[in-house]
Structures are given as structure tokens and as C-alpha cells.
Structure 1
Amino acid sequence: MSGRPGNMREREQEQEREWKAEAGVYLAVAFVAAGVFGAVQPATGIPPEVVQLTQFGPAAGVVTVGLLWPSRVRRRLSGILPGRRTRGPVGREALLLLTAPLIIALSVGAYACVEGTARMTGPRTLQNPFALIVVAQLVGACGEEIGWRCLLQPLLRTRFGPLGASALVGVVWGVWHVQVFAEAPAYAAGFLLATVAMSVVLGLGLERVQANRLLLAGGFHTLVNLGMLLFMDEESGAVLPMVLFGGACLLAAVPWVLRSPAVKILAATQGARRG
């Protein structure tokens, strides 16, 4: 009997080392691979407007972790493809995808109120066919989301819960975009606010969804990217649109947070104490 607590502690310590090693390898490869892909993109001739090769850094991280811990990675990636029906609330997937255009609409509306005019780039004025951009953006977004939402989110969820893991993944996701830190501090702050808020939306929106997780996350990501391409000017380094975008993401995340089980339990507990 006396040996069991010691064995349990050893097992817990082993599990702690395992998930930290898995997360560490994934993040190291995702960061390094993104840098390498970004460096070679000019030589490929692929326009960044179509797709940025850095987006495939997380996918490289998933492949590497999968080679080292195949059984664990298979468990984490379960549900990323079409399969059995989900047990989540009806319409959750639609609400998740609709949140993306809501973010863009809030951003554009706020910008129009501040500047007195809205910005729009017609799809036909782009240097590349819009249909090609849409497909390539979806592929690139899935290259990111298979790492952030399909591997790292489930890995951290068991340690920090859905909301905590979503926020933590959002911070790492934002820092992974290291190029934003070359811009003004307010620009970087707005971007980090956006990544954390969108990660919360995605993490909570995919909670208990058991199929098509990759396409849903990639679809949300693609809609946001296309909206920014057509209606925003953040790529120029302008601070105002990025700050407004971050604020719009935060507003869009609030309903998801209020509906999360953790917040509902906290509200019920506080209500019981008052009673």
C-alpha cells in the first residue's frame, strides 16, 4: 500500500515530462520551419498574396511530433477529418464560421466610424485570380490550424481546460508571428489581442466537435484572412486598423466566453453563495 502514492507521483511526473517534451518539440519545429519557409519563399516565385509558406511551419511541427510519438499524435488529431456526427450543440459549427465575417464587419464598421470611410479592395483588382487565392488561403490556413487547434490545443486542454488552453495557444500563436514585433508597439499589441481572442473563439467553438475540426478551423482562419485582404490595410503597418481588428476580435469572443462551461459554473457558484 505504501508504494502506491510514490508510483502515482512518478507516473504524474512522467506524464508531465511527456507533454512538455511533445509541446516543446512541436513549437521548436514550428518556429524554425516557418523561418526557413519564409526565407525560401522569394525563390519559389509564389506571391505572398496567394499564400505565405510560413503557414506550413506548424504542419512541419505536427509531422515531426507524429514521427516521435505516433500513437499520442493520432489521438490528438482524431476528429480533424469528416467522420461520425458531433455531439456538440446544434449549429455550433455554423456559429463558429459566422464569427469570422462578424469580426471583419466590426472592424470595417469601426474603421468607417473613425475615418469616415471604409476601405475595400475589389477581388478583380488583385494581381492574382481570386479563386486561386481562396483555395491557397484555405490550404495555408489548414497548414497552420493542424498545429495550433488540432494538436497543441488538445494537448494543453487536459492541463489548463478549454478556456485556459485557448488563451495560451493564442499567445503562442501571436508570438509565432515574430514579424509583427518589428512594427509599432500598439500594432503588436493589437495583433496579440486578436490572436488570443480568435484562439478563444476557435478553442471554445471546437469544444466537443468530433469531426471536420481541421476544415472548420481552417475555414474560420481563411474567412478572416480574406476579409483582411479585401477590407483592411493592416499589412502596411498602419496601427489603427490593427488595433480596431484586435478590439473586434475581443468583442466577438465575449459571447463564446460567457457560454463556456467554466464561466457558467463560476456564475452558478457565485449565485449559490449569494443565495
Structure 2
Amino acid sequence: MSGLRNNSYAKKNDSRTAAFVGHYQLPVFFVLTFMWSWGVFFLIIRPLGWVETRQAQIMFAWGPLIGAAVVTAVSGGSLREWAAQIHPRNIAPRWYFIALITPLVLTDGSRILVWLTGAPVTVADITFLEFLSKFTITLVIAGSLEEFGWRGFAQPRIQERWSALTAAILIGVIWALWHFPLVYGGAGAGYDAGAFVGFLIGLPVFSVAMAWIYNSTKGGLLFVMLFHAMINAPSPLQIANSAPTWANTVGGLGQLVLLLMVPLILFLYYGRNYLAASHPHPPIPGRRP
């Protein structure tokens, strides 16, 4: 009898947990995401001196993936349907091009502007194999896996209640804050303290562009993963050391203008509801019916 009572009590607690997680999916997702990533940083990466190594980025990056998987499973959702978002679903091939080129426009467009003003711009000192290695690592085991959480889980849930634009900006700000230990915990992953301001400006803009791609491809997670991998890949262009001092100022201002133009253009063309002509299908992949 005692075993039956314990089993009944365990099932009751499990059902309560599932109900709680199901009701508060987004807050629980964000809490688990930060707990994993910040916990890994302060309990493993920092003590072992891995702050400036690839381990810092790889292990840290798994937080959103793990948070989304746990919430989906515990709330009774379909992990298979949630993970299946990575399948392209017969989306037009142009979206592969868009996913790969848009990040380059956002990150290197300002350098092209500097070149047009007459200042020297050079090709970065990096081989194609080095570029491809960083891109592939990000796509397969590192930063791109974040998109299972940020876009594949949070974006459709938030935009169901508010607009896609609001969802994207909110996720972008949280995404920037999530990077906090890597920036102020010891210049991790090549970042310095000043990079955090750039995150607070740039990541919400990237998030808006990724929401546009995610919704336009009906929840095509692969396309935003490609976008993310391209962001993390080394920049192919750089302002030459021999360039006049004003070139960096022009580059900085040009970068800011490009970043501000993206959400404005998408908002004016598509409206704020989905930032696209379509939306994920199903509206919230993996959610329990």
C-alpha cells in the first residue's frame, strides 16, 4: 500500500509540475536558459580558465536549446515537432541566399561604404578553411543551436500574444543580457567590455531580421541557424591600418544606420504583426494541442 501511495503522490507531483511549466512556458524557458549558460560559465568555464577558448562559446551556447527542450517535454509538447523545424519544408531556394547574405550586409556593409568614400579597405587575413571551420562549428555544435530556443521556441510564443516586432526586440534584449558573463566575466570569446553596448544595439536588430526570415520560411529554423553562423564567422573585410582616422568614424556611423534601417524597412513593408507575409506552421511548433 505504501508503494501505491508513493507512486500516486509522484504522479500527482509530476502532473502539477507539467501544469506549472505548461502555464509558464516562457518564464521557465528563460530561467532554465540562464541557469544553464551562466551556471556553466561560473561553475566550469571560469574556474578551469576556459574563458577565451571555444569551449566557452560551445558549452555556453547550449542554454536556449536545453531550456526549450525541457519545457517542451515537461509540458507535454512534441519534441519531434519542435525539432522538425530544422527541415526546410520545400522553401524557395532564395531564402538560403538571403540567410547567408543578410548578415554580411549588416556586418560588412559599412566597410563597403568606407571603401566608397575613398578610404582603403582590405580583405581580412584569414583563409577560406578558417572561415569555413568557424562557420561549421557554429552551425553544428555552437551558437546556431541557440536558435532552437530564441526563434524556434520563444519567437512564436511571444508573437502569439504581441507582435513579431515586439517579440523580436524583446528576445534581442534578453539575448544580449544573456551574453553578460562572456563580456564582463573575463573578455570571453574575444569580447571586451565595450562589446556589451554593441550587443544591446546589434542583437535586437539581428533578432528582427531573424524573425523576418523565420516567419517568411514558415518556421524554417535552418535558415536562422545559417544566419547565426554567418554572424559568428570572421568578417571578410576590414578597414586598412593605413586608412585615415575619419574612416573608422564613417564605418561606425554607417554600421549604425544599416542596423536601424533593417527594423524600419521590415516594419514599413510587412507591418509589425509577423514582419513577413506568413507565420510559423504550426503557429507554435511542438506545443501540446
Normalised to the residue count of structure 1, the TM-score between the two structures is 0.68
The reply on whether 1:176 has 2:178 as its aligned counterpart is yes
Within 5 Å, which residues of 2 pair with 1:206-245?
206-210=214-218, 213-228=220-235, 230-231=236-237, 245=255
Residue 117 of structure 1: how far off its partner (Å): 4.6
Within 5 Å, which residues of 2 pair with 1:21-170?
21-39=24-42, 40-41=44-45, 43=48, 47-48=53-54, 51-71=57-77, 77=82, 80-82=85-87, 84-86=89-91, 91-109=94-112, 116-118=119-121, 121-124=124-127, 129-139=130-140, 140-170=142-172
Secondary structure in 1 matching 2:87: coil
Contact 1:150 / 1:214 at 8 angstroms: preserved in 2?
A: yes
Residue-by-residue CA offset, 1:39-71 (whole Å, 9 max, x unaligned): 434749793299542111111212221231132
Distance 1:22 1:64 in 2: 10
Relative contact order (alpha carbons < 8 A, sep ≥ 6): 1 or 2 greater? 2
Residue 35 of structure 1: how far off its partner (Å): 1.8
Residue-by-residue CA offset, 1:227-268 (whole Å, 9 max, x unaligned): 44x5569xxxxx978886554333344332222234899xxx
Distance 1:54 1:210 in 2: 28
Residue 149 of structure 1: how far off its partner (Å): 0.6
Letter of the 1:254 counterpart: L
Distance 1:50 1:117 in 2: 34
Contact 2:69 / 2:79 at 8 angstroms: preserved in 1?
A: no
Distance 1:243 1:68 in 2: 46
Task: Say if 1:129 and 1:99 are closer, same or farther in 2 by CA, change over 3 A.
Answer: closer
Task: Say if 1:69 and 1:203 are closer, same or farther in 2 by CA, change over 3 A.
Answer: same
What RMSD in Å do the two structures reach over aligned CA positions?
3.9
Secondary structure in 2 matching 1:188: helix
Moved more, 111-120 or 77-86: 111-120
Distance 1:248 1:121 in 2: 21
Task: Say if 1:164 and 1:44 are closer, same or farther in 2 by CA, change over 3 A.
Answer: same
Contact 1:34 / 1:53 at 8 angstroms: preserved in 2?
A: yes
Task: Say if 1:124 and 1:84 are closer, same or farther in 2 by CA, change over 3 A.
Answer: closer
Normalised to the residue count of structure 2, the TM-score between the two structures is 0.65
Unaligned runs of 5+ in 1: 1-16, 234-238, 266-275
Residue 118 of structure 1: how far off its partner (Å): 3.9
Contact 2:100 / 2:227 at 8 angstroms: preserved in 1?
A: yes
The reply on whether 1:197 has 2:205 as its aligned counterpart is yes
Residue-by-residue CA offset, 1:213-234 (whole Å, 9 max, x unaligned): 2221111011111144x5569x
Unaligned runs of 5+ in 2: 1-19, 185-191, 240-247, 276-289
Distance 2:33 2:210 in 1: 19
